[in-house]
Amino acid sequence: MTGPDRIVPLYSSSRGNSTLIKSNGSYILVDCGVSCKMVSQALVQSGVYPDDISAVFLTHRHTDHINGVKIFSKKYHTPIYATSATLAPLDELYSTVTAIDENDIVKLENGTEVRVFPTPHDVPGSVCYKIINPETGTSFAVMTDLGRVTDGMKGFAKNSDAILLEANYDPYLLEHNANYPYPLKKRISGGHGHISNSESAEAAEFFIRNGTRKFILGHLSPENNTEEIASETFVSVLADKGLVRNVDYELKIAKRFEPTEGYVL
């Protein structure tokens, strides 16, 4: 497990999320929101055996983030970390379980720090993570299901080398989606659901001006967004602020149903 640190979104959408991070020689997963079989296949496709995962950190208890964790823990006995509210519906885990607080700093055996911060998503105990390699200072942040981006969240994630940042929906597509009832639309866009492409770009401006250069847009809605719209909106908003892609920052879009190339640092 030698080699550089990296971040690889395995799956990223409203239908399932899991992100692989390598830090200081060890691998962790943030979320396990698709089946154990699908996560295992994506890991192998990314050059990692499921047995190599040293910990799974869960962001919150919505099914697209925890769907496969019970079977994964039963098969591989991987330690699980999550807030008490997230662990509440997971009553049949087969590995070591650690309840964490919403402002914790978890130190793993290899020295990696996993910092925790609450998000205003519409479920108790929802958090985002910043993973830091103390030997090199390399850091990754995983920030999805945000509801909105607060000043505290900006301060928490600033100076990260790379950020997986939510860009869930395009407002026009959401507004005109006939399959979504009005309450669901309000839930998504009302400050406790998800953030839009333009809101993602607004947050990225702060991060760029505070040291972050690598972004992966993730958790794109299959119904209310496309890779093209997300990319074009993000780049356009930042261009209006004088920030140019491939000059001031790098950008990738996380694939919904297969691993994304990610970043190596």
User: Per-residue pLDDT tens for 215-230?
Assistant: 999 999 999 999 999 9
Q: What is the mean pLDDT of the chain?
A: 96
- The 8-class DSSP code of residue 220 comes to B
Whether the Cβ atoms of residue 150 and residue 118 lie closer than 8 Å to each other: no
Q: Does residue 222 belong to any structural domain of this protein?
A: yes
Q: Does residue 265 belong to any structural domain of this protein?
A: no
Q: Does residue 133 belong to any structural domain of this protein?
A: yes
User: Per-residue pLDDT tens for 149-205?
Assistant: 999 999 999 999 999 999 999 999 999 999 999 999 999 999 999 999 999 999 999
Q: What is the CATH number of the domain that holds 49?
A: 3.60.15.10
Domain range for 191 is 6-258
Report the C-alpha gap between 190 and 207 in whole angstroms.
Answer: 23
Q: Does residue 26 belong to any structural domain of this protein?
A: yes
What's the structural domain count of the chain? 1
Residue 2 has pLDDT above 80, yes or no: no
pLDDT of residue 1: 47
CA-based torsion, 40, 57, 263, 4: positive or negative: negative
User: Per-residue pLDDT tens for 62-73?
Assistant: 999 999 999 999
C-alpha separations of 160 from 118, 139, 209, 210, 246 in Å: 17, 5, 11, 9, 17
What number is the average pLDDT over the span 36-51?
97
Report the C-alpha gap between 158 and 216 in whole angstroms.
Answer: 15
Residue 51 has pLDDT above 60, yes or no: yes
pLDDT of residue 174: 97
User: Side by side, which strands form the sheet with 250-253?
Assistant: 105-107, 113-118, 127-132, 139-143, 162-166, 214-218, 250-253
pLDDT of residue 191: 95
Residue with tokens 């047995």: 51
Q: Does residue 1 belong to any structural domain of this protein?
A: no
pLDDT of residue 44: 97
- Other CB atoms within 10 Å distance of the CB of residue 140: 28
User: Per-residue pLDDT tens for 10-31?
Assistant: 999 999 999 999 999 999 999 9
Residue 39 has pLDDT above 50, yes or no: yes
Strands 97-100 and 105-107: unpaired
Report the C-alpha gap between 152 and 157 in whole angstroms.
Answer: 9
Name the band, by pLDDT with cuts 50, 70 and 90, for residue 91.
confident
Q: Does residue 264 belong to any structural domain of this protein?
A: no
* Residues in CB range of 94: below 8 A, 6 or more apart: 70, 73, 74, 77
Is the pTM higher than 0.85? The answer reads yes
Residue with tokens 């997300």: 230
Q: Does residue 51 belong to any structural domain of this protein?
A: yes
